[in-house]
Structures are given as C-alpha cells and as structure tokens.
Structure 1
Amino acid sequence: MKHWYEVTNVDSIDSPALLVYPERIKENIQIIKSFVGEQCNRLRPHVKTNKMVEVCKMMIEEGIQQFKCSTIAEAEMLALSNARDVLMAYQPVGPKVDRWIQLIEAYPNTNFACILDNVSSIEVLGRHAAKKGLRLNVFLDIDVGMGRTGASISEVPHLWNSLCGYDSLVLKGVHGYDGHISNPDQDIRLQESELSYKILKEAFDYLQLKNPNILEIVIGGSPSFSSHATRSDVVCSPGTFVFWDWGYRQRIAEQPFLYAAVLLTRVISIISPTRICVDLGYKAVASDPPLPRVQFLNASGLEVIFQSEEHLVLSVDDSSRYSLGTVLYAVPTHICPTVNLYNSVSVIQEYHNKTTWQVIGRNRKLNI
C-alpha cells in the first residue's frame, strides 16, 4: 500500500522539487474553518506561505473572501485570483506608494487596504491619494509585543488626529502581528496571546469611540491562532495551515493540520558505508532554521551532517540500502521560505504527478 505522499510517475519530476497535494489542502481549509465555527468572515489567511493563484482560489471556493499579504506582488496575485478583500500587512514607502495606488486603480473589483504606523506615512499616502482623487483604506499597525513594526499605544491618539486631516484615507481597523509567540507550551502561548490581544483591543476601543464606522481587529499568525480563534471579536490571519510544516507540527501540536507540501530529493552520491549525499541544498529548502531543516518521510535513521548550496550530506546506518537516484520525500521545518525557492510546484493527485502550478507570488513584481 502506497503512502499518501508517494508518486507513481516520479520519474517525470526532476529533483529537487516541491510537491503539493490538493486533497490535503482542501482538508486543511476545512480544519481552519472549523476552528472559527465555519464563520469565514473571521478568517483573513496570509498568502505569504502559498503564493499561488490556485491555492487562493481553493480558499475562495470554500467561502473565504478576505486575505492578508506582505508584498504588492502577492496583493496583485490575490486580485488575479478574484479575491474580494486584501490587506497588505506592510507599510508602503518609497516607490511602493505609487505602485500601491496603481494596483488599486488597476483592480477595482478588489477592496485593498494597507497598514500604517506613523504620521509620515499617513501624510505621504494621504497626499498621493488626494492627488488621484482616491479614498484609500488603511489599518493602523500596532506593536503588540514583537517589536518589529507598529505604533505604541501612546502614539494612537496622535495617529488618529493625523488621519483626520486626510479625507483621502479611511480607517478600517487595527492590525497586530504577534510573531514573538512561539512557545511549544500551549498554556504559555495562551497567556502571551492574551497580552497581545489586550494591547490591540485597547487601541481598537480608543479608535472605535472616535470612528462612526465599524472597525476590524486583525491579529495573529499560526502559533497564536488557537487562542485568537476563540475570540469572537477578532479576525485571524494564519497562513501556514494550507501546507503545514515540520516546525509547526512540533511546536503547535494542538492544531491538527496535515502536511500538504513535500520536498522530493534524490541520492546523488554514495560516499561511504555510512554516508550519502542528496540534492537538497539550502537553495532547495529554507535555511533559516538550524539543521536538520527537514524531516524525511520514507527513511529512518538519517542524520544530517552538513549542507551546502546544492548538497545535503547524510549519515545512514547502511548506505547499501540506497542506490543512485533513490527518491526521498521530506517535509521542511519552515515551509513559507521553502515555497519561495521554487518557481513552480508539482501537483500530486491520486499518487500521480498531474500538472504544475506557478508560484507567481514569489516574484517581486507581476504587472505593477
């Protein structure tokens, strides 16, 4: 009996390669919906993980209509997917200001918004929008503990006063990313996510009192999703769930998502009785985690010795069990930057390599 990840026509796929499994992606979408009681308006998945039109359309077909992204290219990919609502969780500066406005003008059927966290950005975007006769949607980005981007609570009144000076900008809500929360202990993650939520809720409460429109709270990623999913007043924005990875399988054990993206690699050298080399260098799998960076699915007793650009050297119990060209399947520790290393993926259905999908969101620029 074949394992779910095996490919019968594997010789049609050169290695290294990234394989995706649509049926398992669909199941992961159902799981994420179940966390919020099928209320898709409480989900705003981040597409930085998948970066593919086909995967975005799968979520749209399941009723998810609003998304989050990091780049203008990802935002355009979502527009090409016919996404209804897109939040770019990145503050446009420099040439991105004009590109952002061009994107909004080019895709009128998609409702776009971006985040802002300082008066200077409000002024620049407000002036550019006014010159074009546009009203642009914005979220205030609040630092909820990560210390990467976002305004402090004390800055919120000043930012609101600045926004009030521009009819060309429309406040839609507050955004906070708690990427510093990653403890494997779920109780600790729950406590930490509660602190992040309270910070963002304080900003929201202040702004909602000042604002006649109903505002939105967008918060969190995958590690804090278990906690934020229980809060009916927030919109959650995990992204890794579509593919999942070995890193989160170890650290977020309570989230039952399936592996839906797998690396395919082959033995390219048999070095000694206890050492082999495969074609899975750090140009083929994300290198931000420490070694081993992958978990092999169809072989046990493998230990990563070292990795270079195009090679991964492994210690094995007995290299005679392997021959040149032996296929190994592996799940990466970090799937998001791994996807970004591939311009296309092989789509596996019923154990068969059916087609390829283009990873267009990995590009820095599509049309705009």
Structure 2
Amino acid sequence: MMKQWYEVANVDHIDSPALLVYPERITYNIRLLKKMVSEDTNRLRPHVKTNKMIEVCKMMMDAGIEQFKCSTIAEAEMLALSNAKDVMMAYQPVGPKIERWMKLVQAYPNTHFSCLLDNVDSIRELGFIAQNRKMNLSVYVDIDLGMGRTGSSVDQIERLLQCIEEQKHLVLEGVHGYDGHISNSDPEVREKESGVAYVLLKAAFDYLQPRCPYPLKMVIGGSPSFTSHAKRKDVTCSPGTFIFWDWGYRSRIPEQAFEYAAVLLMRVISVLDGRHVCVDLGYKAVASDPPLQRVLFLNADDATTVFQSEEHLVLSVGDSKRYPIGAVLYAIPTHICPTVALYDRTYVIQEHQNIATWQVIGRNRILNI
C-alpha cells in the first residue's frame, strides 16, 4: 500500500512528540511565494519567526530572497549566521536590548540591520547611544495600521521625522506596518481591510518621502493580507507562515495554495475505553493559543479532542481498537509559529525517510549576543 506523503518509514527512530519538516514542500512554498509577486524578490521580506532555522533561511536565500524580517535579537543573529544580506527586526529595542542590538550590528558587518521605532523617547535614546558609539543605525518608523499593538499613529509622523532628523547617527529607511488584525475568512472583506491598512501606511510614506533625499521603502503585512499586498508593486511584503503553512490559515485563506510542510507526530500512550484514547501531545508540544481543536489529524479522521493537559491529549474516536498502544498519529497544528518554538529540533523527512535533524536555533532568547 502506497504511503501518504507525511508518513515516515523509519518512524521507530523518532521519539514523540516530534515536529517533522519536509524540504520538498518547503521548496514548493518558496516557489509559490515568488510567483505571487511575479518573481520580484525585492518585494519580499519573509518573516522568520515561523521557521527559526538556519537551514530553512538558507533555502530562501538560495531561491534569491535577500531581505528578511524577525522579531528577536536571537532571530536576527540566526539570520546573520545564515549570511543574510538584509535583516529588519520588527521590534523596538528597549532596555538591555539596545546594548545587544549595538553589539549585533558591530559583530556582523556583512549583514545590513534595521529596527523599528514608534516614539520620540526611543528615537532619542537610540540616537544618543549611536552617537556615543559613532555608529550609524538604520531605522523604520512603525505605523499602527489598526492592530493596536505597537506603532505610531499617522498624525504623529511629522514629530517623529523631526526627531529622527535631529539624530545624526540614525538613518531613516522607510515605514513599516503590521496588519495582523486582518484575518477574516471572506477574501472580499480581507481585500477591503488590507486596502485600509495600505492607505494608512501610504499616508505616512507620502509625508516622509518628499522630505528625504533618497528613496524610502514601505514594508507591510503578514500572511492573511499577503493576497492583497502582493499585488501592490510599491510595497515589500512580510508573510511568514507560508513556509510551513498550518490548518488555521488553510481554513481561513484558501486562495493561498501553500502546502503543509510541517507535521506533528504523536503516539497513543493509553487506551481509556472503547471510544477514548490518550496521545502524548500536550500543550507543551503544540500551540495552545487557539481554542480546541488545536490540530487537524491526517490519519485519524474520526478523532476529536476531549481535553488537553501539559503532556497529554485525550481523544474521542469511533473505535479505540483502531488505535492500539504505540500507534503513530500525524497532525497539522492550527497555529504553526508558536508550535515550532516548542521544539529544540525538527526531523527532516525526505522520500518517507528521516534523513537529518535541524536545530530550531531561533527559539533561544540568546545565541552569542
């Protein structure tokens, strides 16, 4: 009997719970991403918070992608270790992060780094330290596009520009906006909401560009809005989940035809009765931020979650005789990004064989700096 794409022939060598990744499917997703922007990789700045792996980042670089986005200094250093040319940290450095950011920029001169700023206090503090170090730092103004998490309002842009111009060692590269609040399953609604987000960012850009003697950039969006922003030739897009995809986005964004490229492996550890079994996939092994159901089972169509605890997941099934002790189940997480961060390594599957392991190095808070 022919194996399903996700099945592993030498599965007995993989302890569970485990995260499996499939390079051929990752390659397909990278190709589709490029196709959606007409092969213009200058319009892509993928977010690496989803994959957190040097090997995956290098796969994107081998495909001609040179710009990347990250959330942490450790992820930024991971990209530098991957020899990435251009790295934006979509986060505003505060406290000890400022010193770490300075050290990172100095330690990896072959990588161009930038970070976000959204208020005058942070601009002045970063500018003051950069001046004392005699370092030039690249920055983007972060604009709130409606998510209400970080970012300045557009009506503050004049004040922020004035403050940046007062800092001799800060170089403005452009504007950034994340519209993570856009996630409606109706593509027409998402199209409209993405348009509103774009108009906000464009207003900030249109104020700044005439006042700067060089071209500025606009970086916008995540995965749900990528369908719309990919059509705008004046912006750089920052999807991240595309690399592995997940059940949540497959359900809500069906027009983005990315393939599942990361799978959770688990085993039955207890048969409770004729209709219930327990597997070793607790919420320490899969993201717990979405409500139940947190996974889509690939080889257990009748399985639904009853409850979950730290190391256990109790399932209701049609007939527990189909799921003896040790039976291997495969599933797609609803939310892949925080799921990846729960694992220190992934198992690389090619032609149904586990051929290697990749370290999830970006899950660490600190690498070398």
Whether the TM-score (by the shorter chain) exceeds 0.5 is yes
> What one-letter code is carried by the residue in structure 2 that aligns with 1:20?
V
Q: Deviations over 1:250-272 (max 9, x none)?
A: 00010000000000000000000
Distance 2:143 2:53 in 1: 28
- The corresponding residue for 1:118 is 119
Q: Deviations over 1:34-60 (max 9, x none)?
A: 000000000000000000000000000
- The corresponding residue for 2:17 is 16
Gaps of 5+ in 2: none
TM-score by length of 1: 1.00
Distance 1:213 1:6 in 2: 52
Give the number of aligned pairs.
368
- The corresponding residue for 1:315 is 316
- The corresponding residue for 2:45 is 44
Distance 2:303 2:246 in 1: 19
- The corresponding residue for 1:261 is 262
> What one-letter code is carried by the residue in structure 2 that aligns with 1:307?
Q
Distance 1:317 1:99 in 2: 54
1:183-222 to structure 2, matched below 5 A, reads 183-222=184-223
- The corresponding residue for 2:104 is 103
Residue 83 (structure 1) aligned with residue 48 (structure 2): no
Secondary structure of the residue aligned to 1:289 is coil
> What one-letter code is carried by the residue in structure 2 that aligns with 1:237?
S
Deviation at 1:322, TM superposition (A): 1.5
Deviation at 1:300, TM superposition (A): 1.1
Residue 365 (structure 1) aligned with residue 366 (structure 2): yes
Question: Which portions of structure 1, spanning 4 or more consecutive aligned residues, are displaced by more than 6 angstroms?
Answer: none
Distance 2:216 2:202 in 1: 11
Deviation at 1:91, TM superposition (A): 0.1
Q: Deviations over 1:14-45 (max 9, x none)?
A: 00000000000000000000000000000000
- The corresponding residue for 1:329 is 330
Instruction: Quote the RMSD (CA, aligned, Å).
Output: 0.4
- The corresponding residue for 1:6 is 7
Q: Deviations over 1:100-156 (max 9, x none)?
A: 000000000000000000000100100111111111000000001111100001100
- The corresponding residue for 1:277 is 278
Residue 151 (structure 1) aligned with residue 152 (structure 2): yes
Distance 1:232 1:94 in 2: 37
- The corresponding residue for 1:170 is 171
Distance 1:40 1:321 in 2: 48
Residue 352 (structure 1) aligned with residue 353 (structure 2): yes
Deviation at 1:167, TM superposition (A): 1.3
> What one-letter code is carried by the residue in structure 1 that aligns with 2:82?
S
Distance 2:365 2:94 in 1: 15
1:233-252 to structure 2, matched below 5 A, reads 233-252=234-253
Distance 2:82 2:291 in 1: 35
Deviation at 1:276, TM superposition (A): 0.2
Identity %: 67
- The corresponding residue for 1:65 is 66
> What one-letter code is carried by the residue in structure 1 that aligns with 2:182?
I
Distance 2:285 2:48 in 1: 20
Q: Deviations over 1:274-333 (max 9, x none)?
A: 000000000000000000100000111111100000000000111111111000000000
- The corresponding residue for 1:182 is 183
Distance 1:300 1:251 in 2: 20
